[in-house]
Amino acid sequence: MIKIPHTIKEELYNQFPVFEEACQQFAAGKLTAGQFKGVSGKFGCYAERGGKSGMLRLRFTGGVINGRHIHFLADAIRRYAVTTLHVTTGQTLQFHRLSIADIVSLYEECLSQDIYCIGGGSDNPRNVTASPLRGVETDEYFDISPYVDAAASFAISLITKLHLPRKYKIGFSANTRNEGHATFKDLGFLARPDGCFDVYGGGGFGAAGGRIGVLLDRQVPPLRILYYIYAFAQMFMAYGDYKNRGRARSRFIASNLGDDGFRKAFHQYLREAQQQDLHFLPQVDELKKQGDHTVPQHHRVHPQKQDGLYYVEYHPLGGVVNVDTFLNVLQYLDGLDDVEIRLSPDESLYIINLTGTEAEKTAALTDGDAAANDFEKSTCCIGAAICQQGLRDSQGMFLHTVERLHKEHVNTDALPQICVSGCPSSCSTHLVKCLGLRGAAKKVEGEMKPAFTVFAGGDMTANQEQIGTQYGTLTEENIPPFFAALNVILTQAALPFAEWYAGNQREFADLVRQYE
């Protein structure tokens, strides 16, 4: 758990009246949704489509929901009668369809519980993302947890001090699976086998495409990370485009300067940052919990590196958590020793530090709502049914596709996990997935219809990152039969999609054209 100094907490609390006033003005009809967003975004709040409800984004560093927060969330979900909860690719938890009055109240309660919504949106240091199973997975290079916590605490302390041109995203990855998206964030730290980090900068995705980060430095000692975070912020403010928001992300600085120029400019600010004292003492939480000698047999229960302890994997369809299921899980976990929930950038939830008995019970509580295979574990942004920026209802399309394939008795086990973004903002990171969809429109017989553009061949694995190739655009009605046909091909080939695609790109292109 991150520890924010009292002085910083006071600064953050002093910002609350600004948010409260904006909410009151919006509720009274004195601010438009756009005007409200200009203020509320900084506080992790946005009005939703239709303008009568809103969303509050609760940031949990690297997705960690600890025991104290488990108790609070169970109570808050009940009291505010929450109906829609979404796990985001930024490892936050979004409460949707709240009244504006409830948002104000919940925001203040969260702050009192050390859950920070401020900086959850707009031009701020965003939630620090990280490999969700850090500290418990068997193949991590080292436990990056103390450094993730330090980075998050420092980033939050900068919110009131920086004037950034756009959002500033920081990520940590514990191994080459790159689950913290370290190599394509604004600033990313990729763990190495020698206990150091390789540092990347200037990555990201959006309406104008995407860019993998520039390697800024190799073999950086972990105790130096705050200098990199501070230096990058200073460079971002010096070189960022404050006039054109569409080109204000750090990746455009990298494109403008070139890799070498970007690296050189960053090192200038790094030298200046080293004049400050940004040392910190890593806070290492020792896990003393013991197993109970029960060896669970459930397929979603996996062993941790701590002998006798387990974690449960739970992926709700589309990343939207069934509220009743979540409440049951929270109520069971409340009071269990050392248990945490970890939110993942692929919208999964991992419940960690469980004994065998606790793991079996937790898995049973989620059986009715958990994704059954990789395809059902697909990542979706919240979509246009709720999001004002959204172009297409990514959630609705994906859930309809799963339901239709089930009804047609299509066994989707051969299909891959996909990423679905409702618009070019690329919130699902579809560009670095082996198969992704992005909201679009398609003219059919003179009429514009809801559609999604297909991308394939992306890869987020560190040191072999690849941005996917754009193929055709399918109307929503043609997406289920497209996946049914792809399922037949993969089943017959007996190959995972990424492996099949590598040798059959022309056949894949033909398949897309067949359903255009």
Model pLDDT for residues 494-512, shown as the tens digit of each residue = 999 999 999 999 999 999 9
CA-to-CA separations, 147 to 2, 142, 235, 472, in angstroms, rounded: 10, 11, 22, 42
pLDDT surpasses 80 at 5: no
Residues 178, 25: contact at Cβ < 8 Å?
Answer: no
Provide the 10 A C-beta neighbour count for residue 289.
16
Backbone angles phi, psi at 280, to 5 degrees: -150, 160
Give the pLDDT of residue 390.
83
Sequence ranges of the domains in the chain: 6-112, 129-273, 301-366, 375-514
Q: What number does CATH give the domain 301-366?
A: 3.30.56
Cα angle: 102, vertex 104, 109; to 5 degrees? 90
Rounded CA-CA distance 296/367 in Å is 14
Which band of pLDDT confidence, cut at 50, 70 and 90, is reported for residue 3?
low
pLDDT digits (tens, 9 = 90+) for 249-292: 999 999 999 999 999 999 999 999 999 999 999 988 889 999 99
In 118-256, beta strands by DSSP E: 129-130, 170-173, 187-191, 197-201, 204-206, 209-211, 214-220
Give the pLDDT of residue 208.
77
Q: Quick one: tokens of 243?
A: 């006039």
Per-residue pLDDT, averaged over 226-241, amounts to: 98
Which band of pLDDT confidence, cut at 50, 70 and 90, is reported for residue 51?
confident
pLDDT surpasses 60 at 393: yes
- The answer to whether domain 301-366 and domain 375-514 are alike in fold is no
- Matching residue, tokens 């950038």: 345
Burial (CB < 10 A; 0-12, 13-18, 19+), residue 105, is: middle
pLDDT digits (tens, 9 = 90+) for 311-370: 999 999 999 999 999 999 999 999 999 999 999 999 999 999 999 999 999 999 999 999
Q: What number does CATH give the domain 6-112?
A: 3.90.480.20
Find all residues with CB under 8 Å of 119, minimum gap 6, and list them.
Answer: 42, 44, 59, 125, 126, 127, 155, 156, 159
Q: Please, which residues bridge with residue 217 across strands?
A: 199
Find all residues with CB under 8 Å of 466, minimum gap 6, and list them.
Answer: 432, 457, 458, 459
pLDDT digits (tens, 9 = 90+) for 62-99: 999 999 999 999 999 999 999 999 999 999 999 999 99
Residues 285, 225: contact at Cβ < 8 Å?
Answer: no
pLDDT digits (tens, 9 = 90+) for 460-477: 999 999 999 999 999 999
Q: Quick one: tokens of 427?
A: 């919130």
CATH class for domain 129-273? alpha beta
pLDDT surpasses 60 at 405: yes
- Matching residue, tokens 């609390």: 13
Q: What is the pTM of this model?
A: 0.96
Length of the chain: 516
* Residue-averaged pLDDT of the chain: 96
- The closest alpha carbon to 60, from 52, 51, 69, belongs to 69
Which CATH architecture describes the domain 375-514? 2-Layer Sandwich (3.30)
Rounded CA-CA distance 59/64 in Å is 9
Give the pLDDT of residue 104.
97
